[in-house]
Amino acid sequence: MPNTMKSLFFYYKVPIEQHALLRPLAEKFQQQVQRDWPALRCELLQRPQATPEGIETWMEVYHHPQGLSEDMMLGIERLAQEMGLPAKRASEVFTSLN
């Protein structure tokens, strides 16, 4: 399988009291990502329930019809830092099944 057929996932923890502050920032971030790479599809998801401690888990998902390049993945990470998204962002890369 070609190395470029990748999907990118970021997940991170958000205290419930920061939801209203961070959601518009995450949405603005994804809008900028789509301006930078118009064919890129972005999703912003959250787990259905917060933890008993009041922590939500959010996930950003990125797909491109031709797969994500290394430049795209690095650009997404760099932009997230520049725009002040949570610093503890775990990332995962998945490819299609062979």
The structure's pTM equals 0.85
Residue pair 61/9 in contact (Cβ under 8 Å)? The answer is yes
Amino acid code (one letter) for 16: I
Q: What topology is assigned to 6-95 in CATH?
A: Alpha-Beta Plaits (3.30.70)
Query: pLDDT digit of tens for each residue in the chain (98 aa)?
Result: 444 478 999 999 999 999 999 999 999 999 999 999 999 999 999 999 999 999 999 999 999 988 888 899 999 999 999 999 887 899 899 888 87
Query: What is the predicted pLDDT for the residue at 5?
Result: 74
